Copies of this chain bind each other. A is one copy, B any other.
Amino acid sequence: MTKPSVTDRGFGPARHAELALLLEVAGTPKPGNVDRRRDLSDLHFEHFLTGAVGSASGLRLAEDGASVGEAFETAVAGMSKQGGGNTQFGCVLLLVPLVRAAAAGDLSPAGVTDVVEQTTVDDAVAFYRAFEHVDVAVGDPPEDASDLDVRRGSEAESALREQGLTFLDVMELSAEGDANAREWTGGFARTFRAAESILADEGPVTDRVARAFLDLLAEEPDTLVVTNHGDAVARDVMDRAAAVSNLDEAEELAESFVAEGINPGTTADIVCAATFVALERGVPL
């Protein structure tokens, strides 16, 4: 598989992943999210810049072949060294296996599926530990799985080990209610599809990112909106995104979502992952 942009730009996968974190937050308008033009009340643009730079060590570990769990926990720990709290937990969850796949020379649905299928129980334990570095908005676990609530952090270790659950197993348990987990279990289907739309689009990459965000938002309920506001609001958000036909119209939606406290953060995670794939495949900058 050829990777022209890596060669041309001289950036390895870890640098492209860091750049994807920056381009994602720069893309505007991304209704309801922090972007180049908008901050949220306690979550500012500069927190995302700092989070991206802080993630870089963990992303580098992934490029260098460290385990997915170690790379992820390191990236999250680094990301959290700023006052905004959780800026890019979900982005990093998607980027780490993608960086591993790219470094192994097969950035494809099959390649990244290989990576996640090789995760271990130790990786799952590291994933749980990552929740101790930062507050992440999550839904309740299934009733029969309260010992696996991610909010238990490293206290869930014994349950993970007793049940022999890998990082991928944990994602499978969450897949029904979490669009990021579904990327893990489904060959990163939306990520790769959005990457192709970014590549086929025209104009500045940050505009392409914003359009890809709107398309994804119109396509499925955003997990973070479901967690914070319930299914009905998440369906309404989809409909309102679908009604927008260009970035100018999206400006108004962006103002509305910020005013209503609607933050479709999971959709932003997938756009970030797609931006990484587009960078690896040579989107011009």
A-side residues, CB < 8 A to B, are 8-11, 15, 18-19, 22-23, 26, 36-37, 44-47, 49-50, 52-54, 56, 77-78, 81-83, 204-206, 284-285
Contacts and interface: CB of A to CB of B under 8 A. Distances in A.
Contacts of A82: 9, 285
Copies of this polypeptide in the complex = 2
A47 B285 contact: yes
B81 A9 contact: yes
A47 B205 CA distance: 10
Given A22-B49, A36-B36, A46-B26, A56 B285 contact: no
A146 to B, nearest CB: 33
B206 A19 contact: no
A18 B50 contact: no
A62 B110 CA distance: 39
Contacts of A8: 81
A53 B18 contact: yes
Contacts of A47: 285
Contacts of A49: 19, 22-23, 26
B46 A11 contact: no
B11 A53 contact: yes
Contacts of A206: 45-46
